[in-house]
Amino acid sequence: PLSGVSVSVQPPGGQVAPGDLLMLSCAVATGTGPLSFSWHRGGSATPLGTGPRLELHVGDEDSGHYQCRATNGASTAESPPVQVTVL
């Protein structure tokens, strides 16, 4: 099973100005097999993107909690939510 899903944020602290680039990276500590990733904001079921990285040029409406969901077909794990604040 997958475990230890985590998200790192650039810029550190998740504080970005409108129009700036926000980079989120997803990592899985344990788990095997071909991994697929999806990104979600505020608990939405609709993914913002797929892949281990998400890059967004942020706007005023992009503040919120972001999560990465990783799956290897057999199991799925989610990262703790990361707070992003658009200044």
Which CATH number covers residue 32? 2.60.40.10
| pLDDT value of position 63 | 97
Longest dimension (CA), the chain: 39
Q: Domain count for the chain, please give it.
A: 1
Q: Which of 81, 83, 59, 56 is nearest to 68 (CA)?
A: 81
Per the DSSP assignment, residues forming a β-bridge with 5 are 28
| pLDDT value of position 29 | 96
| pLDDT value of position 12 | 92
| pLDDT value of position 33 | 85
| pLDDT value of position 32 | 81
| pLDDT value of position 31 | 87
Residues of the chain below pLDDT 50: none
pTM: 0.92
Boundaries of domain holding 40: 3-86
